[in-house]
Structure 1
Amino acid sequence: MNLAPRRNIKEILPIQQNFIEPNHYQTSFKSPVNTRQRQQRPSKLPSFKMSSGLQVQVPVSPPVSPLWRTRNMSRVDQRMLNVSPSQLPQSPKYQIQVQIFNEQILQKALKRKINQTVVKKQDIQTSEKLFSWQSLIREDVNKGSFKFLFVLGKGGFGKVWRVEQCKSRKQYAMKEMSKARILSKKSVHSVINERIILSKLRHSFIANIHFAFQDRDHLYLVMDLLTGGDLRYHIGVNRRFTEWQTKFVIGCLLVSLEYLQNNNIIHRDIKPENVVFDKKGYPRLTDFGIARVLKAENSQETSGTPGYMAPEVMCRQNHGIGVDHFALGVMIHEFMIGRRPYVGRSRKEIKEMMLTKQVTIRKQDGWSSESADICNQLLQRKQQNRLGFDGIQSIMKHPWFQNMNWQNIMDKTLPSPFVEFAYSEDQDFKRQISSDHDSQNELIQENMNALRRDSIQEMFKDYEYNDHRMTGSTNSTLII
């Protein structure tokens, strides 16, 4: 039986109202423990050491306001009571816990930041890793990646277009080659070889490759855009060149040939049609279709243009870098005299003229005697007697190039005598393009039907190339 005195309900009512109206709590409720007794309680919190080494006891909590109950309420309940979070009492224990919690968060964030920095440094240690990371977000290049502007020229297998890449807005020259024509001329190995060789080269005096791809009917080779026109076009316009113009062209070609020979490659098809000027008026070497890696046994490699072919190639003998030097001599002869040294209506007639007589020229009006001397030495029929047999440096050291600044040529700081011909627009060069109404013979038509077979398409496998991906070692050589 409960013997405690009964309390009036009216005495309890003010206490219950304090939970709803906290503003009246202090006047209606008094804590059974006074303030002095609360301050004399020992603290249950641990002690902390200051930076000076002294051990300081955590002070006892001050008198708790009757608003302490709102600390565990939600924000919605706090707003209902018109109490802002900043007005809530915070004991030292609560402050220390928050501080420790914040320090743990900062340490984790700092550790995460350090890990991210280390990963980024590992990703960009080398340019190759950076390019390989960027290639993951690049899409494959195809015909739809380019906007075809207009035709720049025509080759043996198709057209050369001026195109613009849709994504980067950069302009290139694109060779569009018909697979049916390639098959009819039995030149599959030639076009594949050109792509492989160009993917290993990178120089400012050659037309560099950027992309290579294919569809069922065509192969596409995307290269540097050279807007100055080819050397054959300028020969047709100007007929004759001056000695300085000739020396400038031959000097630039020697720089490109030196780079090729350092990479153990012979071009084997140097002629004015394969020399194209860039916007600065500097000539570049193009068309590496019959270029080959130099080897001891190559007597079966007899492709080339008869008027510029060396005698050892015409006679099916093993040949080396001298075949390119002989072609330079033919070009000097053509600039000086106005025609090639050996002319004939067929390859057989040109070969007979070569074997019959050694061509030599005398000093021409407006030309130095050194120009005739270097031309005669480059046109020697025997490889052992030809200038440059012991290396291309012997040609560069010839007296004809005595005042030539080779470093300015390689840096392209020497003013070009062809800068007035290197138009930025190709309006004049469009006139030399004939209309595309060529009738296809039966063999080409048969090859077009044969392209439906997988075995034929297998012949062009692995033709794709993307210079921006830096895959493998195809682009290990930097631009000079």
Structure 2
Amino acid sequence: MLDRFNKVISYGIVVIAYIKLIKMKNSIGQRNIIQNYAVDTSFYRVKQNQSILTCRHSKLPSFNNPIPISTPTSPKEQPKMWKTNLCFQLDGSFSQTRKRPDEFSSNKKSASPQLRQLPRKSFQLQLDQQPKLFQAPKSQEKRSFRNSIYSRPNSRLIEDQYSLRLPTTDAEIGRSNFKFHYVLGKGGFGKVWRVEMIKSQKLFAMKEMSKAKVLAKNSANSVMNERNLLSQLKHPFIANIHYAFQDRENLYLVMDLLTGGDLRFHIGKMRRFSEQHTKFLIASMLLALEYLHRNGIIHRDIKPENIVLDKKGYPRLTDFGIARIVKPENSQETSGTPGYMAPEVMFRQNHSFGVDHFALGVMAYEFMMGKRPYLGKSRRDIRDAIIAKQVSLKKQDVPPNWSWEAADFINQLLQRKPQARLGYSGIEEIQTHPWFSGFPWKGLHEKQLPSPFKLMKQSDEDFIREISSDHDSQDELIKEKSLLLRQEITQNQFQNYTYFKEQQVTIKRF
């Protein structure tokens, strides 16, 4: 009698479990389908047109031939057995992670705080048919772009589309992709090469910077800052970046090839510029600064050495090493070239876009007079000269063939107080000065206005001398830093230096 009672109870339990499985199949069988992807045997396998059911390693049993299967016995056990955690990896695969993060392991109410904030809607990750963008090299650490969330049954689909930018990796481009022609010039960190990309046969200028020299001058932040800013900028009057990469010894920055020489070279040959040349140069730099300032960037090192002419005679602004995003408190950032440095930077005060306007006035003064307004052998001498008096051009100081409007323009840019300086209300205030009355700004921006600089075609040897040189003599310190490059912690200072044309993928949320 007791055995018969036990059999009845057992059959009843089996029937109840079978009914629960049927209900479970109907409720979770409508979940979103992720096509054409699979996770191998150690994880949950997803095949084409197969619904995501559980994160258990076993498949659902056949209902024609049922086998025992464990089901959640309490709400606390349900997330452990039915929660599906998928990660979208760079190599295009999905992986299931059963282990929850440590920071949430003590939370008994939910598997993740993010889950409590999300609506009861299904999520799906899809690509714009660009799976190659996610094929990262094996050596690169995999990173999750988005964790798909615990999918719940009987939800309606809501689409939300946005973009994600993926920079390329070090393996995609390197020194071997270029043919090196000759050295264009030398700088504080290394050489500037004229190079040709082997595949496209396009010509570029490549800055080869020694990591040891960069570290010896404590300039790692400067070179990283330049790469980060240039990767976000593109303008016809800026030396634009195309690629950036590195090896153990050097950093490489591939930029527009500018074959006209810097303004320091040209002013050294001509001593002074004409008013026509000066107006053309200042107007071109105003267009570049208008673009930078509109994007919240202060260049902070405007000077003739950092302005280079292209082959058609149009100037380009270069060297963004000490450029910064403008912020309210920056009194401690006093980098720059003393002869072109605004008083507020020199005296460690908070500063803004006006420092670039002041440097533009110093250049215009130098183009007109053949010398800078404030002279000195050291930073202290120049600071004392600024304190001593406010430089102001008078009518008798204006050279022949120059207008008084040009002198007035320079005087207003050289005001020591930022509030009194031309451009304090915006760069449009500079562009509407009487000196630029009737100036064809649109034609200049589109480079339809001919350049007054007529560059003669010269031999390679002559061109090499057109780039200003800068040498250093810190040999012992450089050797010391070279040894440190063997350490991973030193190389980490240049992490993420690589840059390539960024590609865009789309992630859809349903």
Same fold (TM over 0.5): yes
Deviation (angstroms), 1:470: 2.8
Return the alpha-carbon distance in structure 1 between the equivalents of residues 196 and 202 of structure 2.
6
The match for 1:172 is 204
- Return the match for 2:175 from 131, 143, 168: 143
- Return the match for 1:428 from 462, 467, 470: 462
Please tell me whether residue 153 in structure 1 is matched to residue 185 in structure 2: yes
Residues 333, 430 of structure 1: alpha-carbon distance in 2 compared, 3 angstrom cutoff = same
The match for 1:222 is 254
Deviation (angstroms), 1:430: 1.4
Residues 373, 425 of structure 1: alpha-carbon distance in 2 compared, 3 angstrom cutoff = same
The match for 2:499 is 465
Q: Is the 8 A contact 2:373 2:391 kept in 1?
A: yes
Return the alpha-carbon distance in structure 1 between the equivalents of residues 169 and 253 of structure 2.
22
Letter in 2 for 1:166: I
**TM alignment of 1:45-444, pairs within 5 A:** 140-362=172-394, 363-418=398-453, 420-421=454-455, 423=457, 426-431=460-465, 440-444=474-478
Q: Secondary structure at the match of 1:248?
A: helix
Letter in 2 for 1:379: L
Return the alpha-carbon distance in structure 1 between the equivalents of residues 471 and 406 of structure 2.
44
Q: Is the 8 A contact 1:311 1:354 kept in 2?
A: yes
Return the alpha-carbon distance in structure 2 between the equivalents of residues 390 and 437 of structure 1.
40
The match for 2:490 is 456
Q: Deviations over 1:33-90 (max 9, x none)?
A: xxxxxxxxxxxxxxxxxxxxxxxxxxxxxxxxxxxxxxxxxxxxxxxxxxxxxxxxxx
Q: Secondary structure at the match of 1:240?
A: coil
- Report 1 or 2 for greater relative contact order, CA contacts < 8 Å, sequence distance ≥ 6: 2
Deviation (angstroms), 1:155: 1.2
Q: Is the 8 A contact 2:305 2:468 kept in 1?
A: no
Deviation (angstroms), 1:136: 9.5
Q: Deviations over 1:224-272 (max 9, x none)?
A: 0011111111101111111010000000000000000110101000000
Return the alpha-carbon distance in structure 2 between the equivalents of residues 375 and 278 of structure 1.
26
Q: Secondary structure at the match of 1:465?
A: coil
Q: Deviations over 1:354-406 (max 9, x none)?
A: 01110011233210000000000000000000000010000000000002100
Q: Secondary structure at the match of 1:417?
A: coil
Residues 198, 446 of structure 1: alpha-carbon distance in 2 compared, 3 angstrom cutoff = same
Deviation (angstroms), 1:416: 0.6
Residues 325, 294 of structure 1: alpha-carbon distance in 2 compared, 3 angstrom cutoff = same
Return the alpha-carbon distance in structure 1 between the equivalents of residues 171 and 491 of structure 2.
23
TM-score, normalized by length of structure 2?
0.64
Deviation (angstroms), 1:433: 6.5
The match for 1:59 is none
Alignment RMSD: 2.8
Q: Is the 8 A contact 1:277 1:422 kept in 2?
A: no
Letter in 2 for 1:375: I
Return the alpha-carbon distance in structure 1 between the equivalents of residues 228 and 168 of structure 2.
23
Letter in 2 for 1:377: Q
Q: Is the 8 A contact 1:191 1:289 kept in 2?
A: yes
The match for 1:101 is none
Return the alpha-carbon distance in structure 2 between the equivalents of residues 440 and 321 of structure 1.
34
Deviation (angstroms), 1:187: 0.7
Structure with the bigger percentage of helix = 1
When structure 1 is superposed on structure 2, of 360-369 and 329-338 the one drifting more is: 360-369
Deviation (angstroms), 1:429: 2.4
Q: Is the 8 A contact 2:334 2:346 kept in 1?
A: yes
Return the alpha-carbon distance in structure 2 between the equivalents of residues 145 and 165 of structure 1.
6
Return the alpha-carbon distance in structure 1 between the equivalents of residues 436 and 220 of structure 2.
40
Return the alpha-carbon distance in structure 1 between the equivalents of residues 167 and 358 of structure 2.
43
The match for 2:58 is none
Q: Secondary structure at the match of 2:387?
A: helix
Residues 339, 166 of structure 1: alpha-carbon distance in 2 compared, 3 angstrom cutoff = same
Deviation (angstroms), 1:421: 1.9
| Count of aligned residue pairs for this structure pair | 346
Residues 192, 471 of structure 1: alpha-carbon distance in 2 compared, 3 angstrom cutoff = farther
Deviation (angstroms), 1:469: 3.7
Letter in 1 for 2:190: G
Q: Is the 8 A contact 1:227 1:422 kept in 2?
A: no
Deviation (angstroms), 1:156: 1.1
Q: Is the 8 A contact 1:212 1:221 kept in 2?
A: yes
Return the alpha-carbon distance in structure 1 between the equivalents of residues 475 and 171 of structure 2.
38
Residues 443, 211 of structure 1: alpha-carbon distance in 2 compared, 3 angstrom cutoff = same
Q: Is the 8 A contact 2:165 2:505 kept in 1?
A: no
Q: Secondary structure at the match of 1:340?
A: coil
Return the alpha-carbon distance in structure 2 between the equivalents of residues 135 and 200 of structure 1.
12
The match for 1:109 is none
Deviation (angstroms), 1:453: 0.7
Long gaps (5+) in structure 2: 1-127, 131-163
Return the alpha-carbon distance in structure 2 between the equivalents of residues 392 and 181 of structure 1.
37
Return the alpha-carbon distance in structure 1 between the equivalents of residues 309 and 262 of structure 2.
6
Percentage identity across aligned positions? 60
TM-score, normalized by length of structure 1?
0.68
Deviation (angstroms), 1:424: 7.4
Return the alpha-carbon distance in structure 1 between the equivalents of residues 268 and 393 of structure 2.
23
Q: Is the 8 A contact 1:228 1:423 kept in 2?
A: no
